[in-house]
Amino acid sequence: MWKLLLIGAIAGLFSGFFGVGGGFIMVPLLAGLARFDQHRSHATSLAAIILISIAAVVRFGIGGEVDPVAGLVLGAGGMIGSTLGANWMNRIPARTLRVIFIVILIVAGITLAIGGEPSVGMQPQRPLAVLIGLLIGMVAGIASGLAGIGGGVVMVPAMVFFLGMSQHSAEGTSLLAIGFTALAGTRVNLKHGRVRLIDAAVMAVAGVVCSPIGASLALRLSGANLSRLFGVFVLVIGARMLYATVRAQRS
């Protein structure tokens, strides 16, 4: 119980701070600290993200940094992608699943750590913006269902570049979409018996308390500094998991 509460609290802080679901914290900690198997770690993480993201998005919303229309569009695409990804996750061996997760972390981490806040690019008109939002949501949803993350690692930089959002607005909107994405993936995982809701609920309770704190801290930083911190942290997590995987394979 205390391990799940601790994991949920840490994930909540980082979820609110970086505008992500917190799966990149929960998955490795559930596998290492709570001794969950890889599939169960991914599925439990995704279920806890539902409530954690809701708490964080409320804080961003109070700060005026949430685009509800974009969030709903991204969420719709994310639900489609997450359903596909979660179904694929239940057919993939645990070792392959772990490698996919590590690759997602390292690629995202390098991009953000080097570049800081992505430069604002396209600012499309509404019909094109809706289409782009759906595509971003689907890609993020597939990553979410496969890796047990919320998908914010994909959505936040994509919204800045392709939809012309600021870093803070992208984070707040990402959290809104993440709730829908995590819900769709969890529905599939429940069908496959991969998650116990009581475990996810314990983590979510701690995460709900801590995620607004992380969001408040994020709103006080510049977008560039926030992105660089995110990139460095994700790289550390990815490198640690890569080292553990290589060492286990050699053994």
Give the 3-state DSSP-derived string for 90-114, with helices as H, strands as E and coil as C. Answer: CCCCHHHHHHHHHHHHHHHHHHHHH
- Tell me what the pLDDT averaged over the chain comes to: 82
Output the pLDDT for position 89.
Answer: 64
Distance of CA 116 to the CA centre of its chain: 18
Q: Which of 3, 27, 4, 64 is nearest to 150 (CA)?
A: 27
pLDDT per residue over 167-185, tens digit each?
889 889 998 998 888 888 8
Output the pLDDT for position 115.
Answer: 67
Output the pLDDT for position 63.
Answer: 87
Confidence of residue 147 (pLDDT cuts 50, 70, 90): low
H or E element that contains 165: none
Output the pLDDT for position 180.
Answer: 85
Output the pLDDT for position 80.
Answer: 84
Residues 164, 136: Cα–Cα separation, whole Å: 13
pLDDT beyond 90 at 37: no
Report whether 21 contacts 15 (CB < 8 A): yes
Residues 86, 105: Cα–Cα separation, whole Å: 18
Output the pLDDT for position 118.
Answer: 56
Most confident of 95-99, 110-114, 189-193: 189-193
String of b and e for 100-129 (b: at least 16 CB within 10 Å)? bbbebbbebbeebbeebbbebeeeeeeeeb
Confidence of residue 97 (pLDDT cuts 50, 70, 90): low
Q: Which range (55-69, 132-146, 194-208) has the least confidence?
A: 132-146
Residues 3, 18: Cα–Cα separation, whole Å: 22
Q: Which range (29-38, 142-151, 155-164, 227-236) has the least confidence?
A: 142-151
Output the pLDDT for position 228.
Answer: 82
Confidence of residue 48 (pLDDT cuts 50, 70, 90): very high
Q: Residue 120 gets which letter from DSSP? A: P
Output the pLDDT for position 1.
Answer: 86
Which is more confidently placed, 147 or 195? 195
Q: Which of 97, 102, 84 is nearest to 181 (CA)?
A: 84
Average pLDDT for residues 45-63, to the nearest whole number? 90
pLDDT beyond 60 at 39: yes
Output the pLDDT for position 145.
Answer: 67
Tell me which residue has tokens 């008109």: 125
Segments in 148-196 forming alpha helices (H)? 152-163, 167-191
